[in-house]
Structures are given as C-alpha cells and as structure tokens.
C-alpha cells in the first residue's frame, strides 16, 4: 500500500525524464506540470474536464490533466506538448490553419497525435469521437479537420 500525506515527495516521468518533486496530494497533474515543472503548454482553461486544453498523454492515452492528481500517475509515462518534436500532426496544424489563438492547440495536437497512432486509417466517426473532447473557439474546426487529414496523408506517404 502506498500512502502520501498532504504534502509528499513523488517521482514523475515526463517526456522521458524522471523528476522528483514535492507536491500537495491535492495538486492536479496540470498544476504540477505548469507550476512545478514549467511545462506551460497545457492550459487551465476550465479545470473541469470540459475543454481539453490541458490534454496530455498518459501511457499513450489522451487524458485531461486537470482531473488527475499528480500522485496518481507516479511512474507512468507522461507526454506533454513540450515532448512532441517535429511530428507530422504539428506540421499539418501549421500548414493547414489548424489554429488561430493557439490556446487549445497543444491539447488538440496531443489528442490528434494519439488518435493517429491508434487509428492510422481515416475514419470520420472515430475522428469525431476523439476530437469532440476538445473545444476550439477560433477555427470553427475546419482547419483542424483539414490538418488531421493532411497529417494522415504525410504519415501514409512517409511510411511507404
């Protein structure tokens, strides 16, 4: 059995790096990433699981970091936008109007990245099911859908 007091020392594996740090047991993963580790790509835009702006990947699955405690994810692989470098989906967002203000972008990109890994083949229903977890207020979603298509195309061409 593992027990943490109100303030505890834990070890997190974020973007492949291990990091020991003191947190409150009540600290969300989002708060720890942003305030303790300086990883501010994920945003606190609702802190209620509604908007997806804080999405990170936990063991390759998209999760909303605002509704997870940091103490829960000790030892698990956490990927934030800062750990994503020059991927097809990022390039696609850049070239296809996938963002405007950029605030929802890290969450969308991480969710889409996980989606492309889990479902390399196009399937509109699945795309919608996954990406409905995030809110974008600027693009009307047109550019985001175009970006996803473009990334799929790049990946298919890349793997040929």
Query: Which tokens go with 120?
Result: 């390399």
Q: Which is nearer to another protein, 55 or 116 (CB)?
A: 55
Q: Which is nearer to another protein, 151 or 160 (CB)?
A: 151
Smallest distance, another protein to C-beta of residue 54, A: 10
Residue 53 near residue 103 (C-beta atoms within 8 A): yes
Smallest distance, another protein to C-beta of residue 20, A: 17
Residue 75 near residue 11 (C-beta atoms within 8 A): yes
Q: Which is nearer to another protein, 118 or 156 (CB)?
A: 118
Smallest distance, another protein to C-beta of residue 18, A: 19
Q: Which is nearer to another protein, 38 or 158 (CB)?
A: 38
Smallest distance, another protein to C-beta of residue 62, A: 5
Would you list the DSSP string of 49-101? Answer: SSS-TTEEEETTEEEEGGGSBGGGGTTSEEE-GGG--S-HHHHHHHHTT--SS
């Amino acid at each position: 059995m593992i027990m943490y007091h109100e303030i505890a020392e834990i070890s997190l594996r974020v973007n492949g790096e291990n990091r020991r740090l003191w947190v409150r047991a009540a600290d969300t993963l989002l708060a720890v990433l942003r305030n303790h580790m300086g990883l501010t790509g994920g945003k606190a835009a609702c802190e209620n699981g509604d908007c997806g702006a804080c999405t990170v990947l936990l063991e390759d699955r998209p999760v909303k970091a605002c509704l997870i405690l940091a103490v829960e994810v000790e030892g698990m692989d956490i990927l934030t936008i800062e750990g994503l470098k020059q991927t097809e989906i990022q390039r696609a967002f850049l070239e296809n109007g996938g963002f405007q203000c950029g605030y929802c972008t890290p969450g969308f990109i991480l969710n889409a990245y996980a989606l492309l890994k889990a479902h390399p083949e196009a399937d509109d229903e699945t795309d919608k099911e996954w990406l409905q977890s995030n809110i974008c207020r600027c693009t009307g979603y047109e550019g985001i859908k175009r970006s996803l298509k473009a990334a799929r195309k790049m990946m298919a061409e890349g793997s040929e």
